[in-house]
Structure 1
């Protein structure tokens, strides 16, 4: 398992009971025992792949975990339905559950980053019986809403979400594909001075303007040139699926009005939230909401780190999560033993 070589991981592609075909990496530890080995399922965000976890997979396998890392629907080697209705959090949660069933995993540690973080937080609401622990990276918990809030209304409240209005438009697919190399240099860029023209890309039309007018530079940011080339090759003519997640606002609201969805993860579920202090995704108010709704949550704030925590501070993520799990799962095991 060499992070510089995607082919060095154990790749599988399987048809799930939900009818969707998923590509995923499935790494077993040397001492694998289906009855006792605990599994970590990692769910990536936008625009990412299973490859976003390349620095964590081997160290966690070496610690004795089975590590399962899918390409989410619409990404990489996984099915890519055309319509946005296929990309709701309930459907993705059902896919994760079906993947676990396929692999005969009753319960797992579920970890998500970015959009994957939102999806795994919803997984905890739809499939609470399938979790050993929940780890959220970069995105605090957002509860189901009792009334519909449009994307326009959300952008009014949080102006730095303005780029989501651009991503929502179908025309954005071709525009980003036309400037794919520049797009990934923007997304994975290192933090810039606030006066940089890149700082306006979060505005509704800002990213389009930056893509079409800013000069191309050679800096691949947090990615090596080899990693950058791999990402670009995987997203070539393939932006509809990834962008479809931004087109599900109303669909997600409607499915969360169904009976059976929990308002928040259960009080007995160990939860860890890790956030880079320089990541605008997680403001103080959002962290307070998470603490209120999930009182048992452990929160780690990392100085000098932005959104791409699995790469920016890979050693911290690689070491901190198993440390949390060692304590959390031991406590959970003791509780069940007493019962």
Structure 2
């Protein structure tokens, strides 16, 4: 991220955000707002920004999300409601005098990127969804048991069993105590997720036994050491609040607060064929319901971190779409 300028902003709800900015080459070129997921940081976008977006002339704002890195780490899950975090994003954009951006996110960052469009459609030129299919703001409480039963019927296995640990009161402590184990679990072969994150107590058992496994080639020793250093310093108590906020009802009844449900701007979905949690075919439901009338749907090889494992194709896919649609 050396080619981007690191900045700090105190937003109106008394929280501090860190983010990275690089202006576009020409004023008419759009800026891409890059929002990372669990358990990453703004640096998740280093390759996309420095190898693809900036050389193509696009601007970049990459945010350290609430709970991560240099940004504030409140422990009240209510602070992580999308309606509040999206407002924080508008203040960051206002600080950079950016009226409209392309909203792009991965994992939880994809959920936030979607809600940023839903709550502030006048600030969004386009929506890029990485791994996580579009889900319209709902008017019913989130039910984790029901979500797992539904995905089991559709895919033959539940996709969210790991949420029970991550959303539990003390689940973060197990992650804190087994950092190397958790890193190898998250970045192991995509098929291994069927025995960990997609298996009831799979993550818990893996961590309690302090298991280690071979990681994918993109998950370098440098990446592992940075992860361990970061979470020895910061811990998982704040990042797991994203799960607690959803399970605890702080994201419920979002439809009443949304200004837009159908995505009427150009959208791009980049799914990965071996992501066991965020199944690429899940985008089909929103398409069927007419919620993505301007969608470009792309499936690449890779698992949940296919944006790293298949970085060149991922970056080219995003830039080609931007050049065509923006």
- Give per-residue Cα distances to partners, 1:96-144, cap 9 Å, x unaligned: 1111111100101111001101111111110000011110000101122
How much does 1:192 deviate?
4.1
Report whether the alignment pairs 1:106 with 2:102. Answer: no
Structure 2 CA distance for partners of 1:259 and 1:117, relative to 1, 3 Å: closer
Task: Tell me the CA shift for residue 234 of structure 1.
Answer: 1.4
Q: What's the CA shift for 1:281? A: 3.0
Contact 2:105 2:113 in 1 (8 A): yes
Contact 1:189 1:222 in 2 (8 A): no
Instruction: Report if aligned partners of 1:16, 1:102 keep a CA contact under 8 Å in 2.
Output: no
| Cα deviation, residue 258, structure 1 | 2.9
Distance 1:326 1:101, change over 3 A: same
Asked if the contact 2:33–2:101 (Cα under 8 Å) also holds between the matched residues in 1, the reply is: yes
Deviation (angstroms), 1:284:
6.3
The residue matched to 1:228 in structure 2 has which SS?
helix
User: Which stretch shows the higher mean deviation, 164-173 or 228-237?
Assistant: 228-237
Please state if 1:321 is matched with 2:318.
yes
Distance change (3 Å), C-alpha of 1:227 and 1:283: closer
Residue 165 of structure 1: how far off its partner (Å): 1.1
Distance 1:263 1:241 in 2: 29
Decide which structure has the larger Cα Rg and report it.
1
Pair 38,176 (structure 1): closer, same or farther in 2 beyond 3 Å: same
Q: Distance in 2 between matches of 1:44 and 1:104?
A: 22
Q: 2:155: which partner in 1?
A: none
The offset of 1:207, in angstroms, is: 0.6
The structural deviation recorded for 1:326 is 1.1
- Matched with 2:36 is 44
**Residue among 255, 263, 273 paired with 2:261:** 263
How much does 1:162 deviate?
Answer: 0.8
The TM-score with structure 2 as length reference comes to 0.90
Gaps of 5+ in 1: 2-6, 330-339
CA distance in 1, matches of 2:231, 2:159: 25
Deviation of the 1:191 alpha carbon: 2.9
- Taking the aligned partners of 1:123 and 1:219, their CA distance within structure 2 comes to 33
**Mapping for residues 7-22 of structure 1, pairs under 5 Å:** 9-22=4-17
Deviations 1:270-309 (A, max 9, x none): 000000011123436622112132122110011x311112
Structure 2 gaps, min length 5:
152-157
Please tell me whether the aligned partners of residues 6 and 21 of structure 2 are also in contact (alpha carbons under 8 angstroms).
yes
Root-mean-square deviation (Å): 2.0
The aligned counterpart of 1:203 is 199
Determine the C-alpha separation between the residues in 2 that align with 1:9 and 1:260.
32
